[in-house]
Structure 1
Amino acid sequence: MARQLALALFLFLVSVCTARAWLAPDFCHEKQCPEYKLIKKGKGYEERLYDAAQWITTKVESDESIDLMAANSRLKAYCKKQNDDGYNIPEDTWPVVITVRRGKDYYLSWFVPPGTKTPPPESDPLVTIESRPEATVYVRVFGGIPSIKGGEENAKALCKSLDKDCTDTTYCGAGYESFFSPSHHNEIWIYASDINKSETS
């Protein structure tokens, strides 16, 4: 009897763990990327519930390519320095995210997988470790070589699909391939909480 109970408990635990296992979509290219649950598909957008996650973030001085490359190099140097000091921040995660605030402030972020040993927040004045809580995010998928202009156009298209006023709403452009890749899966993210803020301000 005890053996049967133990077997039943084992099978239950295996089924629960299997049910909770997250299969990353193909566009993550078998690399670690933030987990989410698809809530619904609308016309021209998806509504996703993203798990809480950490990101390393640095400010981009402008929307010029040279400043974007400088910010990317800064994050790469940060990871190398911290890993040399005994931390384990991977550089091969997707997506790379550019956050646009008020249409003029730009921030570059890399995803930090759960369980990563990260340094204290004050370890580098130019790089911050962001903890983003679980959140509902509206997503528009588009192709082509990613650009600031393309991100802005697709953010407007996403707002139109949502039938929302997104004036001055913060949005994120997420890329899942190298700039030189022959094909691209790009996304625009708008957090539901940011839309609510813009409509009530």
Structure 2
Amino acid sequence: MIKSLKKTLLSQNLESPKWSPAEVAVPGCELRHYETSLWASTVIRDESQKEALRQGLRKLLHYIQGENETETKIEMAVPVTCLVQPGTNEYKVSFFVPPKHQHSPPEPTDPDVFLEQRKPAAVFVRSFGGFASVEKFNKEAKILADILQKEGQSFHSDFYFTAGYNRPFTLFNRHNEVWYYKKEIEGLWMAKNILGKIGKLLI
């Protein structure tokens, strides 16, 4: 999985958050340790996850295309994530801010777009290829949750992230992921920070 992801990113020449693989292997998925990183995000409330993602991506694309205080154009990076909370109609769509802007990103001018800092975290990841529909993401998230429960892993089951790594027109070597956060000693604090704004989170 790691080689496949590296191959995909290298072929696109896109930046992504820094992470390292865990020493402990979990069958059927990866466990990654992500470093602190900055993201541009927006929260969309819609009954349709597909429509929420579409609206969120549009707002974030406007931000990186210059809809910010310095009118700076920001290069594309990956992944684009979507925070899903089953049973709700709120979705947080996020774009990884490339390393060049991690420490001094331009402020968004759209009040619905905000910058957030994600703290270091251990994340269970399941990867898959092809074009990912909402139904496919949800199916893979269910598979990952079942794997983690079977393996006795402790994770936050009330939310997960979808992660997309490709431009819409990329036809081959597509890479997609679903993420569940591992419960740590500070698990309650972690969950509060991830879900606590569904607005300006993780700052």
Same fold (TM over 0.5): yes
Which of 55, 60, 79 aligns to 2:44? It is 60
For 2:87 and 2:155, how far apart are their aligned partners in 1?
A: 11
Match of 2:77 among 90, 93, 111: 93
Is 2:121 aligned against 1:135?
Answer: yes
1:1-201 residue pairs with structure 2 within 5 A?
25-28=6-9, 29-39=12-22, 40-62=24-46, 63=48, 65-79=50-64, 80-82=66-68, 85-86=69-70, 88=72, 90-104=74-88, 105-116=90-101, 117-120=104-107, 123-163=109-149, 169-183=158-172, 184-193=174-183
Larger Rg: 1
Q: Which has the higher helix share?
A: 1
CA distance in 2, matches of 1:57, 1:38: 26
Range with greater deviation from structure 2 (60-69 or 32-41): 60-69
CA distance 1:64–1:46, change in 2 (3 Å): closer
Query: Distance between the aligned counterparts of 2:157 and 2:121, measured in 1?
Result: 20
Distance 2:14 2:52 in 1: 26
Tell whether the 8 Å contact from 1:98 to 1:174 is kept in structure 2 after alignment. Answer: yes
Q: What's the offset of the Cα at 1:175? A: 0.8
Identity %: 29
Shift of 1:57: 0.7
Deviation at 1:126, TM superposition (A): 0.3
Structure 1 stretches of 4+ moved >6 Å = none
Counterpart amino acid of 1:185? H
Superposition CA RMSD, Å: 2.8
Measured after TM superposition, the shift of residue 167 of structure 1 is 8.2
Task: Give the aligned partner of residue 17 of structure 1.
Answer: none
Quick one: which amino acid aligns to residue 68 of structure 1?
A: L
Distance 1:38 1:165, change over 3 A: closer
Unaligned runs of 5+ in 1: 1-23
Aligned equivalents of 2:53, 2:96: Cα separation in 1: 17
User: How many residues are treated as equivalent by the alignment?
Assistant: 172
Task: Determine if contact 1:89/1:112 at 8 Å carries over to the other structure.
Answer: no
**CA contact under 8 A between 2:80 and 2:164: conserved in structure 1?**
yes
Counterpart in the other structure of 1:11: none
What's the CA shift for 1:181?
2.4
* Counterpart position of 1:9: none
What stretches of structure 2 of length at least 5 have no aligned partner?
189-203
Change (3 A) 1:190 1:74: same
Q: Is the Cα contact below 8 Å between 1:159 and 1:165 reproduced in 2? A: no
